[in-house]
Structure 1
Amino acid sequence: MIDFEKAFRRLVKHEGEFSDDPRDPGNWTGGKVGRGELKGTKYGIAANTYQHLDIKNLTLQQAKEIYLEDFWEVLGSAHPAIKFQFFDAAVNHGGGNATRILQRAVNVADDGLWGPRSQAALNAMDPNDVLLRFIGYRLKFWASLSIFDTYGRGWTRRGADNLLLAAEDN
C-alpha cells in the first residue's frame, strides 16, 4: 500500500530539479508565458501557484511540507492509490485542475471545490473505476493543452507510468 513517503519519492522522480523554461506557463508567476516573473519550477512547486516562494532556493523538505498539506491530505481517507494519482495530478496541473478532473471521474459537477458531495461520490465508487476514469480524464486534459506538442510526449509517458502504478497500488 502506498503512503505519503513513497508517493513523495515517486513524485520527485517525475518532477526533478529547478527548471526555468520560458515556454512553460507554470514557470511564470502570472501563469502564462511572458506574464509576471519567470521564477521557474522546482520539485514540481511552480511559480504560477506559489508566486511568493523563492522557487530556485526551495529545499526538498519545504516542497515535501507543501505537498503534504496542499495536495496529499485534500482527499482525507480516500484509497491511497487514488490519493497518489490526485497528488501527482495536483502537482502537474495545479490543485484546481486536479480537483476538476477527479470530480469528472466521480460524476459530480467539476467546480474545482472538493467538498462533501465530491467526497461522497468518490467513496461510493469502486477505486479501480475511479483510477481508470481519472487517468483517462488526465490524458484528455493534457491533449487539450496548446503546449501538448512541446510537452505531450513526456506527459503521455507519465500517464502510462501512472496506469502501471495504479495497478500496483490497488
Structure 2
Amino acid sequence: MAATREKESLAKVLVHEGGYVNHPSDPGGPTNKGVTQRVYDAYRKGKSLPKRSVKNITMDEVGEIYDRQYWDAVKGDLLPAGVDYVVFDGGVNSGPGRSIMWLQQALRPVYTGAIDGVMGIGTIAALKAINNNDALIDRICDARMNFLRHLGTFPTFGKGWTARVAEVRAIGKAWATGETPRAASFADGGQAKALVEDAKAAPSTAPADAAIGAGGGGLGVSGTLQGLQEQLSPLSYASEWITRIVVILALISALLLFGGAAYRWYTSRKAKRLAEALGATPA
C-alpha cells in the first residue's frame, strides 16, 4: 500500500471522531478525538507520565496512540488500499480485534480459519487471494452494520453509526478502485464507541421449555381422565363432564406444546443471528 495511506486514513478517521464528548450512553466514557480516557490513562502510564484529562491530549499523542494501538494492531501496512482504511476505522470505533473479525467474516469462504480477530497468516493469505477489494469492502461494511444493529445502544447512536459506515464504505471503495475519495464528514453519534459488551442478550428459551413441558403434562393428564371417563361410562352425567374436560385440556395442551415449539424455533433463530453478528459462528 502507499506509504502515506496511514496519514490519509487517520485524517478521515479524526473527522468521524470529532472532538471531546462524554455522552452518558457512550460506553467509551470521556473521549477526545476518538481516544477514550481509559486508553489515554494507559498510554500516559506507559510513559511514566501523570494522569490528566483526555481533554488535554496533544496531537502528537493522538498520532502515536492511533499508530500503535490501531493502525499497527490491524496491520494496516499489509492491507490493500481501501481495505486498510475500512478496517482501521472499524478498529477505532469498535476495537481492532472486532474489526479484524468483520474482515474475516467478509473473507469467507476463502478464509476457513476461526473468526478470532487475529490478523494471522491465514487471514493475510485469504486476503491476498481476493481479487475484488471493492466487493470485499462491501462485505466488511455489511458485517459491521449487522454487528451494530445487534447492540443495545443502536437506538441511541444507530443513525450516526449508519451515516459513518456509509461514508467509510464509499471512501474505502474509491481508494480500492484508484479513484479520489470524497471528503469525510462528521455525523453526530457516529463517534460513540460500538462495543460487544453492549450486545443484546440472546432470547431465553425458558418460556418455550415451560410451555412444552406444560403441554406435554396436560396431554398426560387428559389421557388419565380419558381412562377415568371410560370407567364411569355407566354414569352418563359424570361421563359427559369428563369428556368436556378432556377435550378442553387436550386443546390447551396442544396449543402449549405447538406454541412452545414455535417459540423455541423463533428464539433459536434469533440466537443464531446474534451469534453470527457477533462473529461467534462462521458468517
TM-score range, shorter chain: 0.7 to 0.9
- Report the Cα distance in structure 2 between the residues aligned to 1:20 and 1:160, rounded to whole angstroms: 24
Tell whether the 8 Å contact from 1:49 to 1:94 is kept in structure 2 after alignment: no
Gaps of 5+ in 2: 44-51, 177-283
- Give the total of aligned pairs: 158
Is the partner of 1:64 in helix, strand or coil? Answer: helix
Instruction: Verify: 1:167 aligned to 2:166, yes or no.
Output: no
Seen in structure 2, the aligned counterparts of structure 1 residues 95 and 169 have a Cα distance that, compared at 3 Å, is same
1:137 paired residue among 143, 164, 168: 143
1:76-87 matches, cutoff 5 A: 76-87=77-88
Match of 1:68 in 2: 67
- Alpha-carbon deviation of 1:64? 1.3
- Report the Cα distance in structure 2 between the residues aligned to 1:149 and 1:125, rounded to whole angstroms: 35
Tell whether the 8 Å contact from 1:18 to 1:56 is kept in structure 2 after alignment: yes
Please, what TM-score do these two structures have when normalized by structure 1? 0.84
- Alpha-carbon deviation of 1:46? 2.1
Gaps of 5+ in 1: 28-39
**Higher relative contact order, structure no. (Cα contacts within 8 Å, ≥ 6 residues apart):** 2
Match of 1:110 in 2: 115
Instruction: Verify: 1:43 aligned to 2:33, yes or no.
Output: yes
Larger Rg: 2
Q: CA RMSD in A?
A: 1.8
Tell whether the 8 Å contact from 2:6 to 2:76 is kept in structure 1 after alignment: no
Question: Which amino acid in structure 2 is aligned with residue 65 of structure 1?
Answer: E
Match of 2:28 in 1: 26
Seen in structure 2, the aligned counterparts of structure 1 residues 51 and 45 have a Cα distance that, compared at 3 Å, is same
Tell whether the 8 Å contact from 1:45 to 1:63 is kept in structure 2 after alignment: yes
Instruction: Verify: 1:91 aligned to 2:92, yes or no.
Output: yes
Tell whether the 8 Å contact from 1:25 to 1:48 is kept in structure 2 after alignment: no
- Report the Cα distance in structure 2 between the residues aligned to 1:49 and 1:86, rounded to whole angstroms: 19
